[in-house]
Amino acid sequence: MKFCSSCVMPDTKPGIWFDERGYCNACRTKEVKAKIDWGQRLEELELIVEDIKKANHPFYDCIVPVSGGKDSWYQAAVLAEQMGLKVLCVTLAAHLPTTEGIDNLNNMIKDLNVDHMKITIKPSTFKKIRQKCFLRQGEPNWAEHCAMFSSVINTALIYEVPLVVWGEDIAFEFGGIQRSDSKPSAIAIDKSDLIKEKTVFDWLDDDVSERDIFFYKYPDYDKLEKSGVKSIYLGHFVKWYGRQNYDFVKERGFVGRRAGPLPGNFLDYDNMDEKLCEINIWFKYLKFGFWRATDQTCYDLWNDKLTREEAVKIVNDLQDEKPFNDLEDFLNFHMITREQFDETVDKFRNKDLWDFVDGEWQMKYKVS
Ligand SMILES: [Zn+2]
């Protein structure tokens, strides 16, 4: 396992490659972003917005998918306030929200004073698909990502809303399998690194019927193009930095996790609105040898808020903490036993990266 010489990302991350300096994809993106004329990019967004305003749409100008997290709150503020669009916020309901998650979503809608629609997927379907994604792929949140992308775009089609605005393009910002320069269109978000090549049909057995998966089915690109619905990444037009989004929304009522950062986390405000996410991210540690501490220190490294030396220490201090504080909820929700959980952990633990020493598993490679 080798690590980027500029940040702390390892070469086990899918899609990563180091250049002759030993820099990873995301560190090269940092250099690309520094050269972008952000004033001109903002003008490009303003042109899209002007066209929409001229068309005088009967319902809404724009859908912003929101969780109540710092990024989506910021996104919705840009579109509703700075751009003056009539925004409909759409949330894919978290089945096990945290109190901070509930408070943030409520405060956000009050703060922005926008209409808000919540989509709650039939729990039995949601649980079964999540369970299979966990047991077969070690990635339960695949189900969330699929349902979010598809339900939001389907809502835009149904209500004839001409624009959907997502946050950042993860492949560009953080480096991933899909190599591309920053692009405005998010039409292929259903094939992003969070989804890859699978579709919801890969999870249908006798227990889930096609009748139950409307919100998981992404429409044909043809149909989308004909409908005139545009789907874009705000991060293409506005320089993206999570910590700045946090600074923006904390003045407006956003709260981080009241008990401090979750186990293994460096930040207390990142992805803490629901309880099922941490195990999903921790599985990256089993498979690829890194998870929250690496991701979160990298955000700050890419934005010159940490030194590499500080990040190395934080990663080595935090990454062996286990995200088991909501494990009972996780087992109950997925209708699995602790034994099934442990078997799945064992199945997805990459034995090339882990050694069994003195009765416990240890990561072989530490960043230095
Ligand atoms: Zn890097």
Whether pLDDT at 178 is above 70: no
Tens digit of each residue's pLDDT (9 = 90 or more) over 289-301? 999 999 999 999 9
Q: What mean pLDDT comes out for the span 292-319?
A: 97
69 pLDDT higher than 70: yes
208 Cα: distance to centroid of ligand 1 (angstroms): 41
Residue-wise pLDDT for 260-292, tens only, equals 999 999 999 998 999 999 999 999 999 999 999
> What is the full DSSP assignment across 4-72?
-SSS--BTTSTT----TT---HHHHHHHHHHHS-HHHHHHHHHHHHHHHHHHT-SS-SEEEE--SSHHH
Q: How far apart are CA 126 and CA 334, in angstroms?
A: 9
Residue 16, pLDDT score: 92
Contact 5, 22 (CB under 8 A): yes
Question: What is the token pair recorded at 99?
Answer: 């109190």
Phi and psi, residue 283, nearest 5°: -60, -25
Say whether 332 sits in a helix, a strand or coil: helix
Least confident interval from 47-61, 97-111, 182-196: 182-196
In the reported structure, the alpha carbon of residue 287 is separated from the centroid of ligand 1 by a whole-number distance in angstroms of: 19
Average pLDDT over residues 118-140: 95
Between CA 153 and CA 163 the distance in angstroms is 9
Ligand 1 center to residue 238 CA distance, Å? 22
Contact indicator for 36, 136 with CB cutoff of 8 Å: no
Which tens digits make up the pLDDT trace of 75-85? 999 999 999 99
Distance 25 CA to ligand 1 centre (A): 6
Residues 6+ apart with CB under 8 A from 229: 153, 156, 157, 161, 162, 163, 164
Compute the distance from residue 143 Cα to the ligand 1 centre, in Å.
29
pLDDT tier at 157 (50, 70, 90 boundaries)? very high
Cα of 16 from ligand 1 centre, angstroms: 9
What's the CA-to-centroid distance between 360 and ligand 1, angstroms? 30
CA-nearest of 114, 113, 127, 147 to 215 is 147
Amino acid residing at 258:
R
- Give the range among 98-107, 143-152, 195-204, 292-301 with minimum mean pLDDT: 195-204
Q: Please, which residues bridge with residue 232 across strands? A: 165, 185
